[in-house]
Amino acid sequence: MIRSFIAIDLPEATREAIAVLQERLKRSRAGVRWMKPGSIHLTLKFLGNILPEQVDEIAAAAAQLIRDEPPITLYAAGLGSFPSLRKPRVIWVGLQGEVDRLTKIQTGLENTLETLGFAREGRGFRPHLTIGRIKDRHRLQGLIEAMSTVELPEFNSFDANEIILYKSDLRPTGAIYTKLHRMPLAAPASP
């Protein structure tokens, strides 16, 4: 079985800005397991365990869905937590830009993959980048205060040109992500 998900990769500049933000938040010394900036991505659909023979079918269905969609312009913006700032479990950076188009693609993935036997996500899609997970409540108040006062780095916009089917191997040191299949969005028309 292959633990897998579909996501959008981030440019290096966005990852570097997230690393700066994480360093600022780490000063709170709260019990947070910070995500490695190189592994942060925008998850569109978590698939769970799939069979190796399902990889091509999933990739073909996703590629068919997005074949006429031009690249999506996005940028990271804002800081928050799930389920709330008062009781954080997941620390995230939000996304802005062509979020309506992104949501349309995510909804299309839900619909398409449901026909292949993958259950729909129970929660509504809220595009975000997970940057940390609370591992204990120690010094949590300091983190909450830091999140409300921290200066956010400048995030440049980027074009999402493809979606990727990833394999996720869980390790004690953190998950290792391997790209199984790249599915490009349509190339913009030439002037």
Name the token pair of 171: 């390790």
138 assigned to active site? no
The pair of three-digit structure tokens given for residue 34, joined into one six-digit string:
């910070």
Annotated active-site residue 181? The verdict is: no
The rounded distance, in Å, linking the Cα atoms of 152 and 117 is 41
For residues 51, 53, 54 and 60, what is the CA-based torsion angle, rounded to 10 degrees? Answer: 160
Q: Supply angle C-alpha 23, 24, 26, rounded to 5.
A: 60
Whole-number Cα distances in Å, 101 to 11, 40, 141, 162: 19, 21, 37, 14
Catalytic-role residue among 45, 128, 167, 181: 128
Contact at 8 Å (CB) between 35 and 132?
A: yes
Residue 52: how many other CB atoms lie within 10 Å: 10
Which residue in 41, 45, 167, 181 is the catalytic one? Answer: 41
**Residues designated as active site:** 41, 128
